[in-house]
Amino acid sequence: MTQPPIARYKQVAADLRAAITRGDYQPGQRIPASSELAERYDLTMPSVNKAIRLLATEGLVDIAHGSGTTVRERRPVISVSASYVTKHGDEARAQWSTEVNRHGMAGSQQIRQVDTVTPSAEVSGYLALDDDAHVVVRRRLLYADSNPVQLADSYYPAAIAAETELAESGRMPGGTVAALERLGYVLTRFDERVEARMPTHEEVGLMRLQPGTPVLRHLRVTYAAGDVPVEFSEAVMNAERHALAYQLPAEV
């Protein structure tokens, strides 16, 4: 109730945050209208708005223009597992539809781009390419039940993928891992890296991300016999809909 030390809209935000955390407002339930909150706290609407927007950027509420503001619901999480470590059958490989089916949803994908391009420095570095080398890029948008939830881009050295099915804009039976094996590459190891960040403006649009939703960024370099990098892939996922799972043996 201090006046200047702490902004009043922050007090309102704190009150609402506590109420939500306490469970006074359940997920999916509406919080009071801004006009009502304005009256209750003796503030003007723009100030109350500020409080509510703050909670939205914290991922606590969803603001829907003409309808009200609701406590954000935890949507089903797709647990993507590094299954290629333990199993090896074709159907055990990390296939999008398989992963999504396991969670009772329908997986689908839209191939956004298949092209031969000059790689960025990052891609070039991960694939250990010469400066003048080109890559085949495959960009996909993955859906769970008609919701776009993941951007998956894969890169292959042109020396490996040009003129192969990897450079064609069709689906890959068995996934790209199978395609690489059909080309005679024996995969030996995967180097993975997981990061998180706020989405770019473009990613917000493509995956229809709400404010206050971060993305998981999953990078992977696939090596074939002789320690040759044959694929670099980057997946950017709606972090509210994804988790990554690893089963690691303690071993040796």
Cβ atoms within 10 A of the Cβ of 10, count? 13
Q: Which amino acid is at 167?
A: A
Q: Kindly write out the interface string for residues 1-40 of this chain, putting x where it contacts DNA by CB under 7 A and - elsewhere.
A: ---xx-xxxx--------------------x-xxxx----
Write out the DSSP string of 58-95.
Answer: TTSEEE-SSS-EEEPP-PPPEEEE-GGGT--SGGGS--
Q: How far is the CB of 220 from a second copy (least distance, A)?
A: 9
Burial class (CB in 10 A: 0-12, 13-18, 19+), 183: middle
Instruction: Find the part of the chain contacting DNA (CB under 7 A) among 46-54, 115-123, 146-154, 224-232.
Output: 46-54
Of the pair 44, 169, the CB lying nearest DNA is at 44
Residue 215 interacting entry, from a second copy, DNA, none, C-beta within 5 to 8 Å by type: a second copy
Query: Which residues bind to a second copy, rule: CB under 8 A?
Result: 14, 17, 57-59, 77, 79, 82, 84-86, 88, 187-198, 201, 211-216, 239-240, 242-252
User: Rounded to an integer, what distance in angstroms lies between the CA atom of residue 41 and that of residue 124?
Assistant: 56
If phi over 0 gives left and psi between -120 and 50 gives alpha, with beta otherwise, what is residue 208?
A: left
What is the nearest approach in angstroms of a second copy to the Cβ of residue 80? 10
Q: How far apart are CA 139 and CA 142, in angstroms?
A: 10
Residue 39 binds which of DNA, a second copy, none (CB < 5-8 A, kind-dependent): none
Q: For residues 61 and 69, what is the distance between their CA atoms, to the nearest angstrom?
A: 7
Does 124 help bind DNA (rule: CB under 7 A)? no
Question: Which region among 19-27, 45-53, 90-98, 120-128 touches DNA (by CB under 7 A)?
Answer: 45-53
Nearest residue (CB) to a second copy, 127 versus 236: 236
Q: Determine contact, residues 111/140, Cβ cutoff 8 Å.
A: yes
Output 21 or 113, the one with its CB closest to a second copy: 21
Q: Which residues contribute to the site for DNA (CB under 7 A)?
A: 4-5, 7-10, 31, 33-36, 42-47, 49-50, 52-53, 63-69
